[in-house]
Amino acid sequence: MPKSLYFYVDERGNNPVKEFMENLPEKEKSKVHAYMAELREHSYNLRRPMADYLGNGLYELRPRDNRIFYFFFLRDEIVLLHAIRKRTDRIPEGDLSICQKRKRQVEEGIGHIEKINL
């Protein structure tokens, strides 16, 4: 059964993943949408090279050099937390900290989410 996808929205109404995606070239944006559709369909079963588990409940979608970080919320919801263009082999600690903070906010009911219609 397909899962529901959500964008994280901060307290100011900013939607960081959506804004990241809007600034991608059309070809990359299409690839991200295709990966999101696969994630929605296969959820926990999506594996490398498309997705990977990072630890502490965080996962990443891996369309080319872009990384979309997400977690599973209330079992049937997938929340996209943060996005970067990966330039090194390792994910910067600062980006992982942002993901953990946003994940915690959503889990505690402080962070907002917006449903994605694919």
The structural domains of the chain, ordered by start, are: 4-115 (3.30.2310.20)
| pLDDT level of residue 117 (50, 70, 90 thresholds) | confident
How many other β-carbons are positioned within 10 Å of the β-carbon of residue 67?
19
Is pLDDT of 79 > 80?
yes
* CA 1 distance to own-chain centroid: 19
Q: What would the mean pLDDT of 79-103 be, rounded to a whole number?
A: 94
How confident is the model at residue 111, as a pLDDT? 85
In this structure, are residues 80 and 69 in contact, taking their beta carbons and an 8 Å threshold?
yes
Is pLDDT of 110 > 90?
no
Average pLDDT over all residues of the chain: 94
DSSP letter at 1?
-
Nearest Cα neighbor of 68 from 104, 42, 34, 114 is 34
Q: What would the mean pLDDT of 61-79 be, rounded to a whole number?
A: 94
Q: Any residues with CB less than 8 A from the CB of 98 and at least 6 apart, and which?
A: 81, 82
pLDDT by residue (tens digit) across 8-37? 999 899 999 999 999 999 999 999 999 999
How confident is the model at residue 2, as a pLDDT? 67
